[in-house]
Amino acid sequence: MKPFAFARPADVAEAVRTVAADPAAVFLAGGTNLVDHLKLGVATPDVVVDVRRLTSREIADTADGGLRMGAAVTNSELAADRRVRERYPVLAQALLAGASGQLRNAATTGGNPLQRTRCVYFSDVTTPCNKREPGSGCSAIGGYTRYHAVLGVPPTPPGPTAPDTCIATHPSDMAVALAALDAQVQVLGPHGERTIPFVELHRLPDGDPSRDTVLEHGDLITAIDLPALPLAVNSQYRKVRDRASYAFALVSVAAALEVADGVVRDVRIALGGVAHKPWRATAAEEALRGAPATEESYRAAAAAELAGAVPQPGIDDGNAFKIPLVGRTLIAVLRDLTPSEA
Amino acid sequence: MDAEISLRVDGEAHRLTVDTRTTLLDALRERLGNTSPKKGCDHGQCGACTVLLDGERALTCLALAVAYDGAEVVTADGLAADGELHPVQQAFLDRDAFQCGYCTPGQVCSAVGVLDEVRRGWPSHASPDLTGDPELSHDEVAERMSGNICRCAAYVNIVPAVQQAGGQAS
Amino acid sequence: MTELVEPRAMGRALVRRDGVQKVRGTATYAVDTPVDLPAYCHPVQATIARGRVTAMDTTDAEAVDGVLAVLTPFDAERLASTEDAEYAVLQSDEVAFRGQLIGVVIAETSEVAREAADRVRVSYAGQPHDTELSADRDDLYAPGQVNAGHETDTAEGDVAAAMAAAAVTVEQTYETAMYHNNPLEPHATTALWDAAGDGFLTLWDSTQGVHPDRAAVCQVFGLAEGQVQVICPYVGGGFGSKGTPHANVMLTAMAARALPGRAVRLALTRQQMFFLAGYRTPTIQQVQLAADRDGRLSAIAIDVVEQTSKIKEFAEQTGVPARMMYASPSRRTTHRLAALDVPVPSWMRAPGECPGMFGPEVAMDELAEALAIDPIELRIRNEPEVDPETGKPWSSRHLVECLREGAERFGWAGRGPRGHRDGDWLVGTGVAASVYPTLRQATSTATIRFAGGRYVVEIGAADLGTGSWTILPQIAADALGVDVADVDARIGDTRHPVASVAGGSSGTNTWGSAIVQAAREFRGTFGTDPHDGAEASGDVDQAAQDEDHAAYAFGAQFVEARVHADTGEVRVPRLLGVFAVGRVINPRTARSQFIGGMTMGLSMALHENSVFDTRIGQVANHDLAEYHVVSNADVDAVEAYWLDEHDPYVNAMGSKGIGEIGIVGTAAAVSNAVHHATGVRVRSLPITLDKLLPALP
Ligand SMILES: Cc1cc2nc3c(=O)[nH]c(=O)nc-3n(C[C@H](O)[C@H](O)[C@H](O)COP(=O)(O)OP(=O)(O)OC[C@H]3O[C@@H](n4cnc5c(N)ncnc54)[C@H](O)[C@@H]3O)c2cc1C
Ligand code: FES
Ligand code: FES
């Protein structure tokens, strides 16, 4: 681990100034991802700026009937909040499906969506990785791809030495729920405040896999807002993983469904573990709106979303299984969310 | 780069100088000589380093000591500070809820945290109803304790130990 | 026949004597030992899988404030012996596998040591490496023998002819994955060289045997035994990987010698353990079974392909259990190895039996299915009267009783050929048999002293969580005929009499035998009213070593598996084992051993898999977030029972060893249950959802 200075500014404005002023400065919240990466040599900052006690630790009702979740609210507190449990069960479930009790006590609302990929090559500084070291190549192509993307990847694999390839997935569970819930991200940057729709926060590799999100250096997440979304009362997060707990998703599905008279009135779907970002399943949503709330529609919606999926070959048969797996999981979740009288 | 911090550990106040890179785990073990929390992975993947940090269970291997200046730490040793075992510790003994003992201080602190979280009504992934009050069922305890890996695999004894300490018949 | 000690303390479920320290965290593991001003080491590892280190630039590393020394192959001391290539740390510029130790930094703090190690710049002349295990390789070879001194190949009768003539045959390939032991306590050492005189080395090392550990260190450094003390009162798990020292121990001793008078600590990181601490080889098992319509076997064959490292051979004895498990006139077992540019494989819980009871026990299930015979009945029909391998009578063999009692307890009766569906879950049940040889090592000595009204037993034994602290006094108490509360044990230190390694489930059998001898000596010399300071020693009684019987522990594991109909996720709500292991000395600690072994078998069945990336020559998932071991939520009911078995041939306690048998057979039972639930035969571990998905409704 490289030495670094530790700064605890007086307020968020100073924190943003401090980071903005130094290209090698980073924010620290719960530290469960950053400290991991400091030890691995994946993150090598000169200055670590502690914002854990600066941003808000409140969950406040908003004027439009939604919730504002301060960046310092821990994953545990958020999952335990009555309003979240009752009005946005998909979010509580996603949080509770993530990491472990101890980690959720430290992990924050601001830090969780900004955690970086769990690609084993990204974490191992002795192997090439375009995300960690732009231009060095992608060790995952043809390697251990079980936890890698099938959506948002080029139809023909570019080869391991291509300088801007990346087939990593975003590992957060919480983020998948937030993507489904039309959340908004409140950002304080060097040039002031702005709001970013959560679905636009994360990006595809698009030529620069080193950037996970659209945030600029020095941008601080101060809060994340949930809109009033009545259909979210009927929502669910389903995570499929290699062990029953304390494991990242192979695939996951966040969905909210509103059915009336046997017809899908409205729906929100996001998929996890399948792409470089939490994957808002707009094709599936479109296919479902107005369609009969039947297994057949659900199957068609899954097929529509996964039409462009590309399996990644690799060790132990690669990850082709994820395409049927996420499809089946989506269908199962929608089936579960369908009111029995429908 | 060095920093001076203060910590209250198992009831005792300390001022100490740490490297900014020093984790809370290494501060406890290597600076203060408190080796009750163990290092099993150093990356948040096993739970052996669990303590109660300002009253909540936390992994000390992913916490920078400087970031927890002024914090109150209780280790498994501190749970028995007056020489008498904490009910969770007694239950672990009664149920033979360990073998090699390396994960045990972390399991014990985690269990103390779990019982408190259940008391506060926090749900878990295993809760049948997100909005109801959680009970100390097998599945609830097993899920909540899953952040503590036991390679000796004492799990089937750990769950009843936690239930016993939580005052549930099992 | 041995004179069995009358059990009074033995058989009682006494609470662990080291329990209070363990629940408080005050038990001192290797790097917990308080020492003055310890220095910290961080190793430097090779990042190529084969070739040479051409240069190491340590300037930057040495410039870091707080660095005390940096050792590389170019300046490290020359060791007295480099015969064991695994231990020849920093002795040459050659790189034989990725992750090999090529240097070490010693510093005032752990943070500085790690930073400086990162700053060592290494240049290599790399060569193409070869790390791919396959049964099709043309350079597979037959080792001289396999682990524990077993023959490499055995053959009897004509398997091919039996296969051709049989009414029913099974011929399949089974695979077990690469596994890493991953004890929760990393391999860790504190080393202190006394500066004065010829030098005296104290090692607080995490080891399954202080004496074997010391012997290896003495050999490597050319020291007399009197110059080295190894101390290890507590071990945070080993599962075989601390049964022999690994290179990290030699590196720590070397680092300490560079700073005489100063204690240095080195704990491998979890990631480093995947390169340096041993592992179980992947195995490829071609199994053949031939049987008549009644299920009576006419042939059993297993041809095993597995790997070893080029620098040091380790041949897992995977084919060995098939030699004695079932009666069959024709039998063949073979082992072939691929020598690769990979880390050195080693012992892992039940080497041989653990992987070697996967293929054959799934094959038996396949045979039962083909014959439409109940799998328990099939095993009973092939029960051998004497050991098929040696022709010797069994010291005791109660496999059938284990199967029957297990069936009863599990509720096996009425099980049909297919499982059933329960809501979203496909439910099935499965069974497999297990076996483990009853071993006793030749060398161990115990001393018993009467002091201050108490009996003190001293022996350099180890407690890896197995319960030695608690059960050795139980044995001593009964051998002496005194209350167990009046007996103290001192273990885990080379100052105590020599003890064999805690391995092969032989620890209690061996150390207990020595303790019983010491007690008999003691009573013979001092009678029942000894004077203060009276002391007697005893060795493992060679005369009582029974050569006329085949001695094994047996067991049967039953599993209920549930497979999610949508996703293929597998859960095992119930795991039940019945074992015949001779006398159980402490039911409390024994039960923990059984459930621990069975749960580790479940872990092997469903989760564990070191995914080897042959392109770079390393385990891709080399940490505990990606190498999944079973978590609490994966485990539900695990029940262990044992028969009241009396075996007069094995040793004076009548005990057979219990540490390993629990893991044996479990993975096969899980695979058989998953087949019952889904119709899918998973012959290649682990049983992950991707292997089931294509067959789901
Ligand atoms: C073993 C293990 C298992 C895990 N399993 C899961 C899992 O199953 N599912 C899951 O979703 N997660 C899992 N996690 C990840 C965990 O959820 C994240 O590490 C955590 O949510 C990150 O939050 P933090 O507050 O600790 O972030 P930090 O580590 O403090 O920060 C993470 C990143 O965000 C930046 N950052 C933090 N706060 C802000 C802010 N307010 N504004 C701008 N930038 C900021 C930091 O600079 C850093 O780059 C696991 C982690 C571990 C170690
Ligand atoms: S040492 Fe902290 S979680 Fe493993
Ligand atoms: S008791 Fe050994 S790891 Fe849990």
pLDDT per position as a tens digit, C320-351: 999 999 999 999 999 999 999 999 999 999 99
List C333's β-bridge partners, or say none: C154, C302
Q: Which chains touch B (3 or more CB pairs under 8 A)?
A: A, C
Determine the residue of chain B that is closest to A244 in CA distance.
B143
Amino acid at A65: G
Q: Are C672 and C415 in contact (CB under 8 A)?
A: no
List A249's β-bridge partners, or say none: A241
Domain with residues C33-127+182-276, CATH architecture: 2-Layer Sandwich (3.30)
Amino acid at A44: T
Domain with residues B2-78, CATH architecture: Roll (3.10)
Q: Which chains touch C (3 or more CB pairs under 8 A)?
A: A, B
Cβ of B79 less than 6 Å from ligand 2: no
Cβ of A36 less than 6 Å from ligand 1: yes
* Amino acid C544: pLDDT: 63
Please determine, looking at this structure, whether the domain spanning C19-28+441-539 carries the CATH number 3.30.365.10: yes
The CATH code of the domain at B87-165 is 1.10.150.120
* Amino acid C195: pLDDT: 78
Is the pLDDT at C303 greater than 90? The verdict is: yes
Rounded CA-CA distance A149/A250 in Å is: 10
For the segment A286-296, what is each residue's pLDDT rounded down to a tens digit? 999 999 999 99
Mean pLDDT in residue range C190-196: 91
For the segment A114-134, what is each residue's pLDDT rounded down to a tens digit? 999 999 999 999 999 999 999
Q: HEC profile for C16-40?
A: CCCHHHHHHCCCCCCCCCCCCCCEE
Rounded CA-CA distance B122/A337 in Å is: 24
CATH 3.10.20.30 residue ranges of chain B are 2-78
List of chain C residues whose C-beta atoms are within 8 Å of the C-beta of residue B153: 595-597, 599-600, 603, 630, 635
Which of A39, A118, A143 is facing C613, going by the closest CB pair?
A143
Q: How confident is the model at residue A145 (pLDDT cuts 50, 70, 90)?
A: very high
Number of other residues whose CB lies within 10 A of the CB of residue A219 = 21
Tokens of C224: 């007399």
Q: Is B75 on the interface with A (CB under 8 A)?
A: no
Q: Give the residue carrying structure tokens 């607080």.
A: C204
* Amino acid C54: pLDDT: 98
Which of C182, C270, C593 is facing B43, going by the closest CB pair?
C270
Torsion angle of alpha carbons A71, A73, A75, A81, nearest 10°? -130
Rounded CA-CA distance C468/C464 in Å is: 8
Q: Are B133 and B73 in contact (CB under 8 A)?
A: no
For the segment C23-39, what is each residue's pLDDT rounded down to a tens digit? 999 999 999 999 999 99
- Indicate the range of A232-246, C293-307, C492-506 predicted with least confidence: C492-506
Q: In CATH terms, are C19-28+441-539 and C147-179+280-439+548-695 the same topology?
A: yes
Positions of C marked catalytic: 660
Is the pLDDT at C298 greater than 60? The verdict is: yes
Residues in contact with ligand 3 (CB, 6 Å cut-off): B 98-104, 150-152, 154; C 184, 237, 465
Q: How confident is the model at residue C543 (pLDDT cuts 50, 70, 90)?
A: low
Q: HEC profile for C264-318?
A: EEEECCHHHHHHHCCCECCEEEEEEEEECCCCCEEEEEEEEEEEEECCCCCCCCC
Rounded CA-CA distance A279/A150 in Å is: 11
**Alpha helical stretches, state H, C200-246:** 210-221
Cβ of B48 less than 6 Å from ligand 2: yes
pTM beyond 0.95, yes or no: yes
Q: How confident is the model at residue C496 (pLDDT cuts 50, 70, 90)?
A: very high
User: Cβ contact (<8 Å) for C571 and A143?
Assistant: no
Contacts B–C by Cβ distance under 8 A: 189
Q: How confident is the model at residue A159 (pLDDT cuts 50, 70, 90)?
A: confident
pLDDT tens, chain B, 170 aa long = 899 999 999 999 999 999 999 999 999 999 999 999 999 999 999 999 999 999 999 999 999 999 999 999 999 999 998 889 999 999 999 999 999 999 999 999 999 999 999 999 999 999 999 999 999 999 999 999 999 999 999 999 999 999 999 996 44
Is the pLDDT at C46 greater than 70? The verdict is: yes
> Which residue's C-alpha comes closest to atom 4 of ligand 3?
B150
Specify the DSSP element, H or E, that contains A93. helix A89-96
Domain ranges in chain C?
Answer: 19-28+441-539, 33-127+182-276, 147-179+280-439+548-695
Chain centroid offset of residue A172 CA = 4
Percent of chain C with pLDDT over 70: 99
List of chain C residues whose C-beta atoms are within 8 Å of the C-beta of residue B152: 184, 237, 465, 592, 596
With CA atoms as reference, report the closest residue to A312 among A181, A174, A151, A187. A151
Strand runs labelled E in chain A: 5-7, 25-28, 47-50, 59-61, 67-70, 184-189, 192-197, 220-226, 235-241, 249-260, 263-272, 279-280
The ligand whose atoms approach the alpha carbon of A246 most closely is: 1
Q: Are A203 and A179 in contact (CB under 8 A)?
A: no
Compute CA distances A301 → A149, A283, A295, C279, whole Å. 20, 7, 10, 46
List of chain A residues whose C-beta atoms are within 8 Å of the C-beta of residue C615: 139, 142-143
* Amino acid A161: pLDDT: 85
Q: Is A106 on the interface with B (CB under 8 A)?
A: yes
Which of B25, B34, B156, B170 is the best residue to mutate to test the C interface, defined by the most C CB atoms within 10 Å of its own CB? B156
CATH 1.10.150.120 residue ranges of chain B are 87-165
User: Cβ contact (<8 Å) for A126 and C47?
Assistant: yes
Amino acid at C228: V
For the segment C77-110, what is each residue's pLDDT rounded down to a tens digit? 999 999 999 999 999 999 999 999 999 999 999 9
For the segment A38-66, what is each residue's pLDDT rounded down to a tens digit? 999 999 999 999 999 999 999 999 999 99
* Amino acid B169: pLDDT: 44
Q: Are C29 and C188 in contact (CB under 8 A)?
A: yes
* Amino acid C1: pLDDT: 63
CATH class held by domain C147-179+280-439+548-695: alpha beta
3-state secondary structure of A172: coil
Chain B, window 102-141: residues with a beta carbon less than 8 angstroms from a chain C beta carbon: 102-105, 108, 126, 138-139, 141
Is the pLDDT at C4 greater than 80? The verdict is: yes
With CA atoms as reference, report the closest residue to C113 among C275, C278, C255, C217. C255
Give the gap in angstroms from C-alpha C246 to the nearest C-alpha of chain A.
23
